Amino acid sequence: MCLAIPGKITKIEGHKVLVEYPGQTRQALVGNEPVKVGDYVLVQMGIVIKILTPSEAKEAQLAWK
């Protein structure tokens, strides 16, 4: 089983996004979801699978700490 850590989108170029995590930034692919810079997302296998609300992201980040 894979567990995803919430990350914040910092840049969008077409279907590629940069996602910032604590200590690193990674590239991911996004489908037709209406993402924007500043959105919190869950990524698995390099693909955005869910857009989170800020409160969902904060709760998940606290759980990871």
CA distance 60 to 30: 21
The closest alpha carbon to 50, from 15, 4, 12, belongs to 4
Please say if the pLDDT value at position 46 is more than 60. Answer: yes
| Yes or no: domain 7-64 corresponds to CATH 1.10.3720.10 | no
Q: What is the per-residue pLDDT for 38?
A: 97
Higher pLDDT, 59 or 37: 37
CA distance 51 to 16: 15
Q: What is the per-residue pLDDT for 2?
A: 65
Q: What is the per-residue pLDDT for 54?
A: 92
Please say if the pLDDT value at position 3 is more than 70. Answer: no
10-17 mean pLDDT: 96
